[in-house]
Amino acid sequence: MIKRKPELLAPAGDPQALKAAVENGADAVYLGGEMFGARAYAGNFDRSALKSALEYAHARNVRIYITVNTLVDNGELGELTDYLFFLYQEGADALIIQDLGAAGLIKGLFPDFPLHASTQMTVHNAAGVKFLEDMGFQRVILAREVGLADLMEIRKESLMELEVFVHGALCFCYSGQCLFSSMIGGRSGNRGCCAQPCRLPYHLVDEKGRELSGIPGEHPLSPKDLMLLRELPDLFIAGISSLKIEGRMKRPEYVAAVVRIYREALDRAWDDPQNYAVSSQEIHDLALVFNRGFTTGYFHGNPGRQLIGYTKPNNRGLYLGRVLRFEKGKIAFKTRLPLEAGDEIEFWTGDGSRGLTVEKMNFAGRKAEQVSPGSQVEISVSFHVQKGDRIFKTHDRRLAEQAHETITGISRRRVPLYVRVVAHLGEPLLLEGRDEDGFSAAVRGEFIGEKAIKHELTRETVRVQVDRLGNTPFDLMDLECDIEPGVMFPVSEINAVRRQLIIALENARLRRFQRSLPADLRDREKAYWFRLKERADICKKKPGTVFWISR
């Protein structure tokens, strides 16, 4: 088997997170629409936003996988089918599926629509992988409980694409098998509505109701976060096709930072796996954007009690120091990390945790905007703390700004573009463009080239205007000019023709992803909706009727 560099697959809960993922180096992004996704409480994408997301990503050679990974109710099959037609025609690269009935429906309608088996299917052995391969699935997203030894065995038995989670939240239960949220709150994780009861505090008692001792904290069901940054070379050896980051409920800045770190590490590990090492700064940055404590999960075997973060079910940040003194609303402490105005810190007190944003600091008797590790600083606190309370840094302003810049700034994910300009007297301006993937377009303007009275057209003038590519997916690599001496074209004309050329090139790039429905499928679609309406009318007359319509 020829080993290929694994793709880096990132989450997107909203359009900003999508841009964060793409701009920081994701090869592919998974996201959900307004229905049928396992993260119903993420921002998600309506149909207009889905269409825009597909266009934005595809123009930059990034794949989009759509989550259709809830269990589908019989009464939802009509809506599901309509949604599938939309996704197929708009060019979604693959669907992530949990429901085997939905998978059968999709294969019957669209045999060429790639399917990825969701981790909610709990596929954890070679037999499960082979079963889905026979069903026509292209890829399996393995259960998070599958360790390295089992990954190696599965790879020996199948050439199917394998995807594994490498970073983010873990479930207490086996992947896809948890009924906890549904049982105690009526919100089913398999329907996209998990309330995360595993993150709540619990007290363990015996059969007589007496509280058990020896439990390290109030959160005995709350797992730490997965981090396999150090294990990337092992994943290469196991032949993993896709490395997945969890986090469709996370902020765009989180997505930006985590994707950036894994992108840089993945490239480094692939180029030189023998000398690959993870820096302390990378671990530091991952911990600061969000962590519940890190674990390698089941990758090296059953971690036992080390899987659980007993004391805190949400972001714990990094340890900063302890309160040395608290007097008149001011505290003193020695910081173990760099600290500056705008950072956020949290105090772990006897009454729980309280946080604040650092606004002013005093260091060595003077006001300071930032201090180095080892500095003893003084800040104001509006709530009660006491000597010895622990302090954690939970937000780094500089790291957040760096991430935010990739979301709001000019696009850095560009496709190299080569342009040829022809500017002759008595002829309209011609721009020809070709990108590195072989897509090309040519556009002629309307203005006819005139004899210059004052300023003739120069190569530099053309380059400045053609290079104004802003947030387009293109980066001008080379400009070839055929400019007749003495010719004049207004700058506005060059800009207008450039804009038309970019639109034509983008459309050329996007057409390869769009699909057309075969004539027989269009006829079957009309017949399907006719039969569905008939059955719906029957159900109105006979409430409670359950029906299935075969295609």
What pLDDT, in 10s, does the model give residues 423-461? 999 999 999 999 999 999 999 999 999 999 989 999 999
Q: What does the alpha-carbon distance between residue 109 and residue 101 come to, in Å, rounded to a whole number?
A: 13
Question: What pLDDT is stored for residue 518 in this prediction?
Answer: 73
Structure letter (DSSP) for residue 409: S
Q: Bigger pLDDT: 311 or 431?
A: 431
Q: What does the alpha-carbon distance between residue 59 and residue 79 come to, in Å, rounded to a whole number?
A: 29
C-beta separation of 21 from 259 below 8 A? yes
Percent of the chain past pLDDT 90, that is, above it, reads 76
What is the tens place of the pLDDT at every residue in 389-424?
Answer: 999 999 999 999 999 999 998 888 999 999 999 999
pLDDT at 510 over 80: yes
Helix (H, G, I), strand (E, B) or coil at 122: coil
Choose among 260, 270, 299, 276: nearest CA to 166: 299
Backbone angles phi, psi at 539, to 5 degrees: -65, -30
- Give me the mean pLDDT over the 480-490 stretch: 97
- Give me the mean pLDDT over the 300-307 stretch: 94
CA dihedral 259, 265, 270, 274 (to 10 degrees): -160
Domains 7-217+227-274 and 318-408 in one fold: no
What is the tens place of the pLDDT at every residue in 263-273?
Answer: 999 999 999 99
pLDDT band at 534 (very low <50, low <70, confident <90, very high): confident
Q: What does the alpha-carbon distance between residue 168 and residue 245 come to, in Å, rounded to a whole number?
A: 6
Question: What pLDDT is stored for residue 17 in this prediction?
Answer: 97
Question: What pLDDT is stored for residue 198 in this prediction?
Answer: 84
The chain-wide mean pLDDT, for the chain, equals 91
Structure letter (DSSP) for residue 447: E
Structure letter (DSSP) for residue 210: P
| Fold designation for 318-408 | Elongation Factor Tu (Ef-tu); domain 3 (2.40.30)
Q: What does the alpha-carbon distance between residue 298 and residue 433 come to, in Å, rounded to a whole number?
A: 51
Q: What does the alpha-carbon distance between residue 261 and residue 63 come to, in Å, rounded to a whole number?
A: 20
- Give me the mean pLDDT over the 371-383 stretch: 95
Structure letter (DSSP) for residue 192: T
**For the chain, how many residues are written?**
551
Q: What does the alpha-carbon distance between residue 348 and residue 391 come to, in Å, rounded to a whole number?
A: 6
pLDDT at 483 over 80: yes
What is the tens place of the pLDDT at every residue in 210-220?
Answer: 988 888 889 99
Question: What pLDDT is stored for residue 13 in this prediction?
Answer: 94
* Alpha carbon separation from 240 to 61, 197, 205 (Å, rounded): 21, 32, 43
Question: What pLDDT is stored for residue 367 in this prediction?
Answer: 94
What is the tens place of the pLDDT at every residue in 198-238?
Answer: 888 998 899 998 988 888 889 998 999 999 999 999 999 99
Backbone angles phi, psi at 547, to 5 degrees: -140, 155
Write out the two tokens for 382: 């509006």
Residue ranges of the domains in the chain? 7-217+227-274, 318-408, 415-511, 517-551
Q: Bigger pLDDT: 130 or 312?
A: 130
C-beta separation of 22 from 413 below 8 A? yes
Choose among 179, 220, 183, 175: nearest CA to 200: 220
Question: Which residue type, as a one-letter code, is found at position 394?
Answer: T
Question: What pLDDT is stored for residue 315 in this prediction?
Answer: 93
Question: What pLDDT is stored for residue 533 in this prediction?
Answer: 67
pLDDT band at 73 (very low <50, low <70, confident <90, very high): confident
> Counting Cβ atoms within 10 Å, is residue 227 exposed (0-12), middle (13-18) or buried (19+)?
buried
Q: Which of 60-69, 82-91, 417-426, 525-534 has the lowest mean pLDDT?
A: 525-534
pLDDT at 507 over 90: yes
Which residues make Cβ contacts (< 8 Å) with residue 143, sequence separation at least 6?
A: 119, 122, 123, 124, 174, 175, 176
| Fold designation for 7-217+227-274 | TIM Barrel (3.20.20)
- Give me the mean pLDDT over the 361-370 stretch: 92
Helix (H) or strand (E) holding 232: helix 232-237
Q: What does the alpha-carbon distance between residue 86 and residue 65 come to, in Å, rounded to a whole number?
A: 14
Helix (H) or strand (E) holding 51: helix 47-58
Percent of the chain past pLDDT 70, that is, above it, reads 93
Question: What pLDDT is stored for residue 551 in this prediction?
Answer: 47
Question: What pLDDT is stored for residue 514 in this prediction?
Answer: 87
Helix (H, G, I), strand (E, B) or coil at 86: helix
Backbone angles phi, psi at 274, to 5 degrees: -65, -35
